[in-house]
Structure formats: C-alpha cells, structure tokens
Structure 1
Amino acid sequence: ARPINWGKWFLIGIGMLVSAFILLVPMIYIFVQAFSKGLMPVLQNLADPDMLHAIWLTVMIALIAVPVNLVFGILLAWLVTRFNFP
C-alpha cells in the first residue's frame, strides 16, 4: 500500500474550508439581515407583484438555460473524448 500524502489532503482541506467560508458567510449575512425585522416583512416582499414577476422570470430563464447547457455540455464532452485535438 502506498503511504498517505498528508500534505495533499491538508491543502485540499484548506481549499474546501476557504471555499465554504467564501460561500457561507455572505449567505448567512443575507439571511440574518432579511429576517432581522421578523418574518412578516419577508412574507410581504414575497407577495409583492414585482417580486413574483422576478421569481417567475428566474424560473423561466433556468428552464431554458439548463437544457441548452446540457445539450452543449454533452456534445462538447463527446467531442473531447471522441477526437484528439491539438
């Protein structure tokens, strides 16, 4: 059995911790600020017509973008594995 390369795993762990910190700290801050005045303002904002339109637009764009990216991703993956590019 090969010896475990602790330096490699240490660096991977540090990278994962830094990535988690960069992602989680802003999300937690936004969550705390959003609910700082209670649940009612959040629910009122969710019922606002502009907010509902923004949510609807986001969902529609995702429903279009995900399949398009899926097709191009599969096509490019197939091309990369099938042919040798210089």
Structure 2
Amino acid sequence: MGGLRDKLLHPDVIAAFVEAYQREYNAARQADIATRRGKEANWRRSGSMYHPSMKEKMSALEERRTAIEVELANPRDEGPLRLHQA
C-alpha cells in the first residue's frame, strides 16, 4: 500500500497532473472569454442599426440584446483566473 501511495504521490506525477490541469483550465477560461466577447460584439451591433424594412429582424435583435444584457450583468465570476506555473 505504501508503494502505491509513493507512486501516486511522486513529484513527477503530481507535476504532470498540475500541468495538464492548468492547460485545460486556461483553455476553458479562454473559451469563456471568447464567448463573452462575441456576445458583447453582438450587443454593440444590435444597438447601431435600424431601417423600417428590418422591423421583424430588429425585434428579434432587441430580444437577443436584452438577453445578452441580462447575461453580461450577471457574470459567472469576477473575471478570468489564470493559473501560472510555480
């Protein structure tokens, strides 16, 4: 049992785990940031166009804009947390 514990807690195994975890965590955060930036860009575009022939499309965009405003007003956390190697 002690040998198994020593192998699982070996510094090289822990270092490999931490490195993989950091890489995956940071990739997920980058994807969240990219999604948020895309939503912010959609929000800005939806507020800058109008033409009477686009009334139906404009209504849909306004609904989407409102949904995005609600989502942006209630972020999941307070910003990106980046993990760095020690």
TM-score range, shorter chain: 0.3 to 0.5
Higher relative contact order (CA 8 A, sep 6+): 2
Instruction: Considering fraction of residues, name the structure with more helix.
Output: 1
TM normalised by structure 2 equals 0.35
